[in-house]
Structure 1
């Protein structure tokens, strides 16, 4: 229904109530000339009664141009626009001004007042020496936190509204003279193509952007830290912030970037390199420890020294099933414990996990249902898994099963075949067209010393990584270094 000059306040009011048949739609009549519509569960009621209502009463008592009293109001001319503004937290004022044969004037004033939680310390990315701020569920607050760290007019924010019913606000953030324009266009084109009734989760949004997703490895990197997003933008990546999510997604994503601990950016380059190597070792242990143990005790027993082999054979004595089933049973129980205790509130989850693991492990060994070595292997697996990024840990938890099955059937050959398949799969993954294993495959040796693997001394690091194809390649002015 289009509001024309012959439509009265009564007719418009009936149409609004027809389009919004909800009990929290409220109407306040001020005299016979003004009607105020609002949804009382999402607007600032204190401001309404403290500022707006007194202004409207003064207008009734002493008529003058309504826009002078309500300078922040936006004029509307159709019912669909009124409905959209009401559900977005606006106050809609219908006023008979006496102009144009009694046609009502319609003003909309934004008065959204949904309370959000306070800015708190990061819960997933722990910082000891770093800032104690993290994103919250309010998109405006999150962008404000980001702009506090990048006070550059080239920082561009583009807003999109996703979902016919949910109308979820999404922001694409990038630095205009650094980020690759083709990547920005690709992301924004994908957002414009989305035609879905509602979207509420960051994961759903990112799957719609990256489209076909046939890998357990994440093609985007989630972070709750504004400083991490600022660093990502400064090297040419693009971040996506969504209303209702306390995380920002960064694209493109690389496997190595998942192994970059947030806390260690506040340490020296040697410490960062050591921690990154330690994370790689932990991942290797989490994926291969159970498979190597199974291969040694069941298929490739000849590789063990005699004394060590006798020790393992003695440990296996009395176990009522084959080593393959022993390993499978315990890694499945391990994953059950991890998932079962992840959603227990407070500190009870870790406590139950530790208590249950100790009790079950000790009882299994004492009753002769499990060997002592499998308890050690299981402990190494879980420690190695969570030493890496939480987001990527799920993928490596999943990949240990093909390794175990390959080891149980073919021993070391099975592990080798599973590894080849894993590497081939990783090489096939692209994030915005960038190979997932960059800068190792394809090899970009210079990028390895520009922050991808080892951070050089900042005074010598003058060129941005070429991985993200930045427009402005120089990050620090001065004499050119030897990187080329």
Structure 2
């Protein structure tokens, strides 16, 4: 037992991250500086980056400062903390400061830092040092001073790598949660924005921030999310993806029920619709709940560009999405079971291309599909300088060589290439991955049962989508159950003045987001101010 501290009863629990801190969780600073030094050094002193600096406050009172040298700004520490403590400010010169006044004088008149506070519990002080703070203990004061001075090198704010846009903001989230909160505050300067923080992870103590709009977001949704987050008992939360896997409704579904994004503007747009955003310290990806399927083929540019153009682009995106799911299976079923559905001239060309291929169509397609998945994974994992060259070599050289060697037919390579391009056109990577995985069972069913197998597979997928929910919201909303207002932004992107209501499936407190007569008022105020007929002389 450490000298000067009352030993508390040991808690026998294998889930406790630090048995020593748990054992001494109620120990407090006694005012004896040596006891405080012994306690803190006994826990953190084995680390080479841990620093302790002894000095005298105002040249009179012994004190010690504790911190991790690589987690703070040394210049600020010297100028804002150490120097004012060692040399009294000008307004205190000549003033006699007694021991009982020292705490208030140091906290209110000496420390040049806004994040300074006093703390009694030693375990809390140690946890503060681990987060990057600085602790100052002074002889004779039964509290220690904690100053939040964390300063960790971070990358600059840049364009999101996974969500590129032509027209729209170029800022994306980075790892420190404080910077990410600032990016959201910058775009949503409203008193209704609510941010609730909590710590999840017994060892990492990761900060998790929950964002929602008071007066828009349904309060029951906030309660349900907090209930799910409070039940997570895990050692470490290193990324927001950890939380996603715990809070989603169906853990066995290949379809994502939580959307992630690197874009602050996308988070703000979802908050204003009545959704909730979740940020984790150390992760550049925010989670958005609840999520419906239509969100995964929509992009930021759908709303920053004119609706006629983006409606056509969205339809092309939907066609590419369907291509990526059913194109290979349709090819296998028609080639293997129903070749009469192909025009005669084309059927002759296909038969000529497949003349020397030793495998049936289903095996051929599966081999090429698996090869493409391996090539895609290799391209992602390799360094950027090599990855581009590998993809070109893989597609051109290997594909052409496979056709020349009679290993695959030209039409099969074309089908798989179109399918791969279609999967790349899906904006959300996790949704595209789900469709890529579902291609394989559809191909197998097509090879066994033909078009009947394809239809059975599609019916099973549709039935699963109909049964899926995200925090109680049907996954295919607003299509099923039908909602006329929501369908204005489903297959096509309607004009902004059409979408006056927030999505009804989110059950928002405030349903209206556009003034009732905005469009009419704008039309009535239009005037051809520079009409040449007005200026004829």
- TM-score in terms of structure 1 length: 0.94
Pair 1:438–1:335, CA change in 2 (3 A) = same
In structure 2, the residue matched to 1:108 is 146
Contact 1:238 1:251 in 2 (8 A): yes
Shift of 1:280: 1.2
In structure 1, the residue matched to 2:380 is 342
Query: Which whole-Å CA distance do the structure 2 matches of 1:30 and 1:335 have between them?
Result: 62
Question: What does the per-residue CA deviation read over 1:144-188, in whole Å, with 9 as the maximum and x for residues that have no partner?
Answer: 111111111001000011101101111110111111111111111
Contact 1:38 1:89 in 2 (8 A): yes
In structure 2, the residue matched to 1:18 is 42
Shift of 1:467: 2.2
In structure 2, the residue matched to 1:181 is 219
Query: Which whole-Å CA distance do the structure 2 matches of 1:254 and 1:212 have between them?
Result: 13
Unaligned runs of 5+ in 2: 1-23, 98-104, 521-537
In structure 1, the residue matched to 2:469 is 430
Q: How many residues align?
A: 476
Return the match for 1:312 from 331, 345, 350: 350
In structure 2, the residue matched to 1:195 is 233
Unaligned runs of 5+ in 1: 97-101
Shift of 1:318: 1.5
Are 1:216 and 2:259 an aligned pair? no
Question: What does the per-residue CA deviation read over 1:54-110, in whole Å, with 9 as the maximum and x for residues that have no partner?
Answer: 1111149976422220264211112111101111111111112xxxxx444411111
Question: What does the per-residue CA deviation read over 1:161-216, in whole Å, with 9 as the maximum and x for residues that have no partner?
Answer: 11011011111101111111111111111111211111102111111222651111
Question: What does the per-residue CA deviation read over 1:26-77, in whole Å, with 9 as the maximum and x for residues that have no partner?
Answer: 1111136111111112111111122211111114997642222026421111
In structure 2, the residue matched to 1:86 is 129
In structure 1, the residue matched to 2:12 is none
Query: Which whole-Å CA distance do the structure 1 matches of 2:501 and 2:28 have between them?
Result: 60
Query: Which whole-Å CA distance do the structure 1 matches of 2:106 and 2:295 have between them?
Result: 56
Return the match for 1:34 from 63, 69, 90: 63
Shift of 1:304: 2.3
Structure showing greater radius of gyration is: 2
Query: Which whole-Å CA distance do the structure 2 matches of 1:356 and 1:462 have between them?
Result: 49
Contact 2:321 2:422 in 1 (8 A): yes
Deviates more, 1:45-54 or 1:379-388: 45-54
Question: What does the per-residue CA deviation read over 1:423-445, in whole Å, with 9 as the maximum and x for residues that have no partner?
Answer: 01111211111111111122212
Matches within 5 A, 1:78-477: 78-96=121-139, 102-210=140-248, 212-389=250-427, 390-449=429-488, 451-477=489-515
Are 1:49 and 2:78 an aligned pair? yes
RMSD: 2.0
Query: Which whole-Å CA distance do the structure 1 matches of 2:498 and 2:366 have between them?
Result: 50
